[in-house]
Amino acid sequence: MRFTIQREALLKPLQQVVGVVERRQTLPVLANLLVSVGGGRVSLTGTDLEVEMVASNEVQDGEDGEITIPARKLFDICRALPDGVKVDLKLAGDRVTLSAGRSRFTLATLPATEFPVIENIELVERVSLPEGTLKRLMDQTAFAMAHQDVRYYLNGMLVDLRDGALRCVATDGHRLALAETTVETSGATRRQIIIPRKGVLELQGLFESGEGVVELEFGKNHLRVRRGDVQFTSKLIDGRFPDYEAVIPIGADKEVRLPRDSLRAGLQRAAILSNEKYRGVKLDVSPNRLGIVAHNPEQEEANEELEADTTVSDLSVGFNVNYLLDALGALSGDDVLLCLRDGQSSCLLRSAESDQSRHVVMPLRL
């Protein structure tokens, strides 16, 4: 096996796959990348047995073959090489030699036969949508995923494919984020899968906000995402996601409309004097006004008063200020709506212009 390639043409696929490789792993081969040359292209594969990323690029000159090379070392070497240099990689016995200009590196290898590859995913459904749209859906919901929760099915993101719509949903039990878009599906399809947290984070790093098209392939136990020269495959969490539609408050008819930026700034100022442990703030709603109050154990107090478009009178409810700020950061548009029911019920936040992205925050007793 041998190939020649420009440094930048090798560095781009390396950057895309190296994040999947865990620094600590049970099998030595999982610290390596599978490097395959064939058909005038070089393909790089990284995996941790849960998530697999494959990226490829054209080579200038090559001999077919495959081998596994230490991922982090190969990436660090390529990153440290000068711009525009030609990289020549050659396999001899159980060693690989990388030459670039006057630099020469010899790396240990492991046989390609030891490398675990996900091949067949038993395709159930395929959906295409713009890359920027999928990035938006994930960015608006991923922050609400649980982290190392004993309810393992919350440590990931639900992708809910239903008649003509694709939804991304995440919750940690205290707040919920939902974003959706319209897609073309084959007939009356309903498919729900849970992507593990690591898979979601890798996908977020992969996407750009461009208008390229990505393909989602739903398998029985895997999700595969194809984008140009990159193919991502993730195992799915085997669990039942909560009935998230039951969490979205019904009858939250007390609406407060105000500029997103001014609400965000008011909450950030009040948060300075909130309790460091509970991060609670109280929202006081009265006609044309939203009050934000924060206390802490040192008997300090913050009061903010914002102009708001509302006719609601005498409604007070407490929330974790971080959850409100996360939701506001994920929403788009100039104005937001806070939909409330009473002092003990959750709050629904959404953009005043669209309900394609919705966020639910549970109340806090203050």
Token representation of residue 1: 């096996």
Kindly state whether residues 24 and 127 are assigned to the same domain: no
> Can you tell me the mean pLDDT for 177-199?
89
pLDDT for res 365: 85
Per-residue pLDDT tens digits for 48-84: 999 999 999 999 889 999 999 999 999 999 999 999 9
Q: Are 39 and 62 in contact (CB under 8 A)?
A: no
Token representation of residue 229: 């020269």
Kindly state whether residues 146 and 187 are assigned to the same domain: yes
Per-residue pLDDT tens digits for 291-347: 999 999 999 999 999 999 999 989 999 999 999 999 999 999 999 999 999 999 999
pLDDT band at residue 187 under the 50/70/90 scheme: low
Per-residue pLDDT tens digits for 224-258: 999 989 999 999 999 999 999 999 988 888 999 99
pLDDT for res 25: 81
Kindly state whether residues 98 and 128 are assigned to the same domain: no
Kindly state whether residues 266 and 196 are assigned to the same domain: no
Kindly state whether residues 29 and 63 are assigned to the same domain: yes
Indicate the pTM of the whole model: 0.91
pLDDT band at residue 188 under the 50/70/90 scheme: low
Q: Rounded distance, CA 182 to CA 268, Å?
A: 34
Chosen domain end from 85, 114, 143 = 114
> Does 366 reside within a domain?
no
CATH number of the domain where residue 346 is located:
3.10.150.10
Kindly state whether residues 197 and 127 are assigned to the same domain: yes
pLDDT for res 173: 94
Q: Rounded distance, CA 320 to CA 288, Å?
A: 23
Give the domain extent around 239. Answer: 123-245
Least confident of 7-16, 115-124, 254-263: 115-124
Task: Supply the DSSP string of 262-278, one letter for each residue.
Answer: HHHHHHHHHHTTS-TTT
Kindly state whether residues 138 and 234 are assigned to the same domain: yes
> Does 316 reside within a domain?
yes
User: Does 143 score more than 90 pLDDT?
Assistant: yes
Per-residue pLDDT tens digits for 192-222: 999 999 999 999 988 876 778 999 999 999 9
Chosen domain end from 190, 223, 245 = 245
Q: How far is CA 265 from the centre of its chain?
A: 26
Q: Rounded distance, CA 77 to CA 79, Å?
A: 5
> Can you tell me the mean pLDDT for 129-155?
95
Kindly state whether residues 204 and 295 are assigned to the same domain: no
Q: Rounded distance, CA 89 to CA 97, Å?
A: 6
SS3 content of the chain, % helix, strand, coil (to 5): 20, 45, 35
pLDDT for res 46: 97
Chosen domain end from 80, 114, 148 = 114
> Does 144 reside within a domain?
yes
Give the three-state DSSP class for 321.
Answer: helix
Kindly state whether residues 99 and 197 are assigned to the same domain: no
Percentage, residues of the chain above pLDDT 90: 87
> Does 149 reside within a domain?
yes
pLDDT for res 4: 96
Q: Rounded distance, CA 97 to CA 194, Å?
A: 41
Name the more confident of 209 and 134.
134
Kindly state whether residues 135 and 162 are assigned to the same domain: yes
Kindly state whether residues 54 and 100 are assigned to the same domain: yes
Percentage, residues of the chain above pLDDT 70: 99
> Does 186 reside within a domain?
yes
pLDDT for res 209: 66
> Does 269 reside within a domain?
yes
Kindly state whether residues 77 and 169 are assigned to the same domain: no
